[in-house]
Structure 1
């Protein structure tokens, strides 16, 4: 079999046989006698230009990985985030971003693997300059320097190669985890307008007549009025009827406007500015929510049955009307600040008769959290604060609205207010039906009534706060903590891992450069370059080929005599290979003058080295 190795100035033909290895020129009749040495010198001219860039180019790529890993570490330490246009691009094109991350992580990982493999290549080339190695060792060096997995290697070489190849997968995986954009949260500062109670001259009880009512305003955001008890009857009744949930879950109810925000739990009469005075916050890109503090009244409602009440219904037969009048318990003729609501019901609402509810308003600083995507508001009571309305005009006006509601919602046939209370009481009975605790009608009535009155008080306080903000125009700025969605690059575990890996590679390069004095003795021969291997092997002679011939002959004889042998050293191989004995052939690299190299047969078991040079004959 013949193989041709072409060069622009040379064609080298090698005939493989048991006893000869002959090299011939393309045209010996027309070439001058010195053509062979000249052409081989041209092959070696490539390595004579072994400059600084050629030796160190693989390590300069670590500058890119070092800067990138340092920036990622700084971004994680200082909590740097990305928002704006980049945020929209990443969240809108996740597939494309994922592809870009894979490509970039592969490139950055390749820089690390290239540097490590170049260290292995340089270290093994330095060893090859002064040591005898077998062909299997040379194969393992090649596989570790590329890197690649050779399934025909002996296990003692296969596993080290497997470790290096497996390491080649680690950097790109770590880089992918370190540079992948991750959706996270960030906090900034915003400002919203809260209702001010420095001027409350508009908060008072107005006559029920439409022409004598207080100021109101209707716009795209909703209807806002100081006539809470007469103009917001429908919303207040709906709140009273739904005050108790049938499954004991947290109540969720809407605001009295068109902002489509809902409270989770009690409103406590605050949070009216949400959707009305927070335009600057909602204009922040990627804002997901905000939280702030607001002053208000914490209303505690306590309802009881009081049979000693002197609050009665007196019939006026001539007018088909009943007059509600009398004294509530603890009532005195002099002015006092206790707030009571008493109920005296006819036969249809007998379960509410003689019920009495008292109110206790505590000035409190509330913590309000707003979820913008879900449009929900959660209010949490905070510490007690000094009263911002010592005259209690606000709370007194709120309690007086129950009289207006009762007057407007009673007719000859039904009491809408009583029906709303009844709905809350029925819901409480349903919520407690699954429990083993017996519930009396009186307990259910008082619980449902308390929930309804509490919900009505909270909503009326909130209605007055929005009237102050929108109708009266009385507001005060308040700072809020705004949460927004942003992007960060990578998880801390991957960032610190890739930074440590990059530092380890840099340290390995520095130590190896110091140990070898900048690879000062590194030869120009590179076993990864087929040109170097062909030229060096051709100069080395037929010694290696002869050793291979002898090993192949031994292999044939061993096949014939293996039945008679009792013991033979066994080698472990991953897969069987017909020429498995060739890997034991020892070779070494010999340097000649002018930077030329030869691969010759090395020493093994004390044998004398056999050196046989290739003769380039001028005969075809």
Structure 2
């Protein structure tokens, strides 16, 4: 039967039938290093996933978010396993290197204990400090691989890019976008659904929302103005809408049906409305009357009037609370101008005049589905998608209809909305410590209200095209979907680098040691090998240890061990490996160890640690007969 033997490589004999010479198999020597195939594969996959911004969606994302504790447990177990693979390779490299060195050097028992601790990543608390700190340092480093694996595999919520499609309004047919009489029963086509109320009579049937937009147009804070869409989708614009984004919440079901959608971006054509308001002291548009009981006339020419002056009637108790707006009535007019004639109650609005400029523009529309926010940014100008300008002329004309409809005997609702915007502008400028005149504040607040109302009217007509007229076209969108991102980039790069360094260390050691060809079967980590090799060494080791202990009896320590009991005294005993005549390894007392008599069995590096009570002057210094010049370091000393 095959017995366990340990041989020095130089003393090996050919394998015989007695089985005494036990050789390493390939698997027995290199099996630990094959674990690097798993760590290399995973670290490479993580690195490629990071470089290519790969993300995980679907069921795995849902499970990770529903059971975060379980996900963390799985990550910790995997990190511990892959960290163990790295640690096993590192320990094997240390073990092989020190076993090869043990064939060439003498070591003290403390050094041998340190080697054991470094090979199995263990802290031995009663090592001398010069050995304790290196072993603790190695043990602390052993915690790094698992920690890096955890950082490189921990899932976090990220986003990935997908594609989608939504429906946006089409303006190929604008026959329903026109001015409808401000009379009961004469309004344009309308539709009411759970998503809101949609109509082509925007100035008449959506006047309440437009008034709210006018009143809130001047933001009180330093951030962008946030205002709701004119429907029940709960989405809000951050900043200006520019008249686009009507499809959001209405015709994007194909995108938002995915519960993991974070948002999307698409492009839409629209009009960038620029409004410039000034005072025109020579304005021809004025109030007169009463022309009949409680009836006042607002009439006069505008810069773009065609086919004669504009004329409309307003109701009022005495004309003081009237805010009349004049917009060219003729279809031949470009309808770019709006003039205001106001009574004494709103005298700050009297003789103001606003010029509208609608520039066809391509916009980027960004939708945050989670926060229900819409952000619109102009990209570039483009050819007019509605050359007849039905849309813009109808929008400007709504101001005249609203001003007429929202004036009663005692107050103008439109004038109050403008007044709120002007007051908000004043508060904002005061808060920012900026000076302004009343005229500047009035024109700025009025301009903000006109812009806000024009944008919302454009959105209202676009919504009517979608929901009432069913006139739309498909538009692609870039969709951002919530996904899992495994690990942070810094940890992924770190674990890939660590894995590469370990591979290079294995290759370097394999080349340096000729694939560990000189490695013997003796392993100082195996207590079987230690016991067998020590027994072959005979009783010299035990006798030398007894001599050391006898010399220490009755002496007190000058040095104190850090975190454990004092060393028993034999840690400084120097030993080495020798092969016997049969090629078996044995442990024997080192050649440099002191003689075993009472005076020489005490190594000089240990003598200074003990002081005999009252013996310093009576017996003199403890000087060995054979001077000891060997000082064994952490890597041993040459035999």
Q: TM-score, normalised by structure 1?
A: 0.83
In the alignment, is residue 467 of structure 1 matched against residue 464 of structure 2? yes
Residue 191 of structure 1 is matched in structure 2 by 165
Distance 2:508 2:343 in 1: 98
Which string of whole-angstrom CA distances, capped at 9 and with x for unpartnered residues, describes residues 411-436 of structure 1? 22222222222222222222233455
Q: What SS does the corresponding residue of 1:477 show, helix, strand or coil?
A: strand
Per the alignment, residue 553 of structure 1 pairs with: 550
CA distance in 1, matches of 2:376, 2:349: 31
State whether residues 197 and 389 of structure 1, in contact with CA within 8 Å, keep that contact through their aligned partners in structure 2. Answer: yes
Rounded to whole Å, the distance in 1 between the matches of 2:566 and 2:475 is 85
The change in CA–CA distance for 1:336 and 1:160 in structure 2 (over 3 A counts) is same
Q: Which moved more, 1:448-457 or 1:581-590?
A: 581-590
Separation in 1, partners of 2:560, 2:107: 19
Instruction: Tell me the equivalent position of 2:455.
Output: 458
C-alpha change, 1:57 and 1:342, in structure 2 (3 Å) is same
Question: Contact 2:148/2:494 (CA < 8 Å) preserved in 1?
Answer: yes
Is 1:54 matched up with 2:28? yes
Q: 1:442 maps to which residue?
A: 439
User: Is residue 335–residue 397 contact of structure 2 (8 Å, CA) maintained in 1?
Assistant: no
> Does the C-alpha gap of structure 1 residues 160 and 427 become closer, same or farther in structure 2, counting only changes over 3 Å?
closer
Question: Matches of residues 328-407 of structure 1 in structure 2 within 5 Å?
Answer: 328-329=302-303, 331=305, 333=307, 335-407=332-404
Checking the alignment, whether the CA contact within 8 Å between 1:247 and 1:430 is kept in structure 2 is no
Matched, 1:504 2:478: no
**Contact 1:253–1:262 (8 Å) recurs in 2:** yes
Any idea what the Cα deviations from partners look like across 1:32-74, whole Å, max 9, x if unmatched?
xxxxxxxxxxxx9999485443333322222221211121122
Taking the aligned partners of 2:505 and 2:222, their CA distance within structure 1 comes to 65
Cα distance between partner residues in 1 of 2:495 and 2:128: 33
Distance 1:123 1:212 in 2: 97
Give 1:376 deviation, angstroms. 0.9
Cα offsets for 1:187-210 (capped at 9, x unmatched): 222221111111111111112233
1:227-248 deviation line (CA, Å, top 9, x unaligned): 1111111111111111123345
Q: CA deviation at 1:318?
A: 4.3
Aligned pair in 2 of structure 1 residues 516, 483: CA closer, same or farther (>3 Å)? same
> Are the aligned partners of 2:163 and 2:479 in contact in 1 as well (CA < 8 Å)?
yes
SS, match of residue 250 in structure 2: coil
CA distance in 1, matches of 2:412, 2:334: 29
> 1:602 is matched with which residue: 552, 574, 590?
590
**Which secondary structure state, in structure 2, belongs to the residue aligned with residue 363 of structure 1?**
strand
Q: Could you tell me whether the CA contact under 8 Å between 1:310 and 1:327 is conserved in 2?
A: yes
Cα distance between partner residues in 2 of 1:330 and 1:473: 34
CA distance in 2, matches of 1:401, 1:578: 97
Distance 2:563 2:60 in 1: 52
Counterpart of 2:55? 81
Q: How far, CA to CA, are the matches of 1:321 and 1:344 in structure 2?
A: 15
Correspondence 1:589 to 2:563: no
Query: Take 2:70 and 2:490, find their aligned partners in 1: how far apart are those partners?
Result: 24
Higher mean displacement: 365-374 or 342-351: 342-351
Question: Deviation digits for residues 99-145 of structure 1, max 9, x if unmatched?
Answer: 22222211211111111111222222233334432212211111111
Q: Does 1:119 align with 2:93?
A: yes
For 2:391 and 2:419, locate their aligned partners in 1 and report how far apart those are by CA, in whole Å.
28
In the TM superposition, residue 574 of structure 1 has moved relative to its aligned partner by 4.8
- Give the equivalent residue in structure 2 for 1:490: 487
For residues 10-31 of structure 1, what are the alpha-carbon distances to aligned partners after superposition, in whole Å with 9 as ceiling and x for unaligned? xxxxxxxxxxxxxxxxxxxxxx
Whether the 8 Å contact between 1:262 and 1:375 is mirrored in structure 2 is: yes
Q: CA deviation at 1:328?
A: 2.5
Check the 8 A contact 1:154/1:572 in 2, yes or no: no
Partner of 1:163: 137
Q: Distance in 2 between the 1:233 and 1:209 partners?
A: 14
- Paired residue for 1:134? 108
CA distance in 2, matches of 1:393, 1:414: 32
Kept in 2: contact 1:552–1:579 (CA 8 A): no
TM-score (norm 2): 0.81
More helix by share: 1
Out of 192, 200, 203, the residue aligned to residue 177 of structure 2 is 203
Q: 1:218-233 to 2 correspondence within 5 Å?
A: 218-233=192-207
1:411 alignment partner, one of 393, 408, 428: 408
TM-fit CA distance, 1:578:
5.1
Distance 1:509 1:198 in 2: 71
Aligned-partner Cα distance in 1 for 2:116–2:132: 12
The CA RMSD measured in Å over matched residues stands at 2.8
Cα deviation per residue 1:251-292 (whole Å; 9 max; x = unaligned)?
211111110001111111111111112111212352111112
Report matched runs for 1:312-323 at 5 Å.
312-316=286-290, 318-323=292-297
Separation in structure 2 between the aligned mates of residue 320 and residue 54 of structure 1, nearest angstrom? 109
Conserved 8 A contact 1:48-1:595:
no
Aligned position for 1:273: 247
